[in-house]
Amino acid sequence: MSRNAKINALLLFVVAALAVLPLALGLGDHKEEPFSGADAEAETAITEIEPDYEPWFSPLYEPPSGEIESALFALQAALGAGVLAYYFGLHRGRRQGELRALAQQDTAASTTSVPSSKASTSSRSTENSEDSRGSGSSGSPQGSASASVPSAPERT
Amino acid sequence: MHIAEGFLPPAHAIAWSVASAPFVVHGVRSLTREVKEHPESTLLLGASGAFTFVLSALKLPSVTGSCSHPTGTGLGAILFRPPVMAVLGTITLLFQALLLAHGGLTTLGANVFSMAVVGPWAGYAVYRLLRRFDVPLMVTVFFGAFVADLSTYCVTSVQLALAFPDPSSGFLGALGKFGSIFAVTQLPLAVSEGLLTVFVMRLLTQSSKGELTRLGVLVTGGRKRAGAGADAETEAVAR
């Protein structure tokens, strides 16, 4: 494990610890409803301060059960996580492709361009990529890979 | 920080909406300009929005024995400046208001103001300030995200205290009440958010050096090493 990976693991570990400790230490035990949402607690506080306050508008759609609500929350998290993972995966693939292209250039003593069959097996050339389903690379591999900025796909 | 649907008197609801609107409009302009001028940013913009999506869906237990969630707005504010986050934050809040009955349309203005306007700006201000003093990047990112998170919840407390002053102790009494519900609960979560933002930023420095340099987050020639992350770590643990 590299130093980098260790630090990243440590960051995530501390985040996890911060989340688990209140549960493990039973910090919610003094409450009637331990670990309820702060938003709901604020509603309670409002009704304490102004007992006769009536919400003048109700949500257009309310999840019919806690299950549906948690499903939608999971959907929200999954959408976000999916996009993040796509981003990092794409960039990792691009970097690997660049490194591979560079390595190929180094090994190829001749100045001939890479045969297309090989190019299609290497993940991606340094040139722009349409999408993960795009038809791979086009054109000859260029030199300075680090400087080229690939254009983003249409979809986000 | 989500003020529930209908839980702000109409006058307050309208006032906060009016206060938020220009920021969101300005944000839409900066967002479209960014995408037009730098199409390669689109993906990273999406990732910043996605980060907000993930973090605001994570309900984490806190030391007060209640649960709350981070906001995730610090990252995008640092990368693309706060106006862009006014839009991305609003999208997240709309999703939650319409599908999860979390927050609401009448309170959208107030929620946008706290999470998508003040949070990103406060976090960004702290980040810029610390950068000026040559603080290591990851430490500035940590505090930027930390402040973005915490200030959001402080604003929510102020909004509710303004709308519902305590009959006996007035605005300040109510502020204490809402502050203890929101701000105190949020402290460890703000630390978590700071650490998670540092984590993502570290991944970005590995994967998207060119883009971060263009956005001015990484200074060319300025090495960004792991040590800074460890600093933020110890800082956070020490707190």
Write the pLDDT tens digit of every residue in B117-150: 999 999 999 999 999 998 999 999 999 999 999 9
Residues B39, B42: Cα–Cα separation, whole Å: 6
Looking at residue A144, what is its pLDDT? 43
* Contact between chains at B57 and A82 (C-beta distance less than 8 A): no
Residues B118, B149: Cα–Cα separation, whole Å: 10
Instruction: Please give the full DSSP string across B13-24, using - where no structure is assigned.
Output: HHHHHHHHHHHH
* Contact between chains at A91 and B160 (C-beta distance less than 8 A): no
pLDDT above 90 for A111: no
Nearest to A38 among B182, B202, B214 (CB): B182
Sign of torsion over alpha carbons B57, B62, B68, B73: negative
C-beta of residue A71 within 8 angstroms of C-beta of residue B119: no
* Contact between chains at A38 and B66 (C-beta distance less than 8 A): yes
* Contact between chains at B50 and A83 (C-beta distance less than 8 A): yes
Work out the pLDDT band at A28, boundaries 50, 70, 90. confident
Nearest CA in chain A to B204: A88
Return phi, psi of residue B67, to 5°.
-110, 150
* Contact between chains at B233 and A18 (C-beta distance less than 8 A): no
pLDDT above 80 for A120: no
Residues B197, B127: Cα–Cα separation, whole Å: 13
The residue that leads in pLDDT, A152 or B61, is B61
Best residue in A18, A31, A53 for a mutation probing chain B (most B CBs within 10 Å) = A18
Looking at residue A33, what is its pLDDT? 84
CA B109 to chain centre: 15
Nearest CA in chain B to A37: B67
Strands B60-61 and B67-68, by their bridges, are antiparallel
Neighbours of A139 (CB within 10 A): 11
Question: Which helix (H) or strand (E) is B68 found in, with range?
Answer: strand B67-68
C-beta of residue B111 within 8 angstroms of C-beta of residue B93: yes
Nearest CA in chain B to A152: B40
* Contact between chains at B63 and A27 (C-beta distance less than 8 A): yes
The residue that leads in pLDDT, A108 or A104, is A104
Residues B221, A49: Cα–Cα separation, whole Å: 57
Share of chain B above pLDDT 70, in %: 92
Residues B35, B42: Cα–Cα separation, whole Å: 6
Residues A63, B100: Cα–Cα separation, whole Å: 6
Average pLDDT over residues B196-215: 94
Nearest to B179 by CA among B162, B198, B154: B154
B36-53 pLDDT, tens digit per residue, is: 999 999 999 999 999 999
Report residue B74 as tokens: 């610090």
Could you tell me which residues come within 8 angstroms of residue A115 by beta carbon, excluding any fewer than 6 positions away? none
Residues of B with Cβ-Cβ distance to A60 under 8 angstroms? 98, 105
Look-up of token digits 């839409």: B28
Best residue in A84, A128, A132 for a mutation probing chain B (most B CBs within 10 Å) = A84
Nearest CA in chain B to A148: B210
Q: How many CB pairs under 8 A join A and B?
A: 213
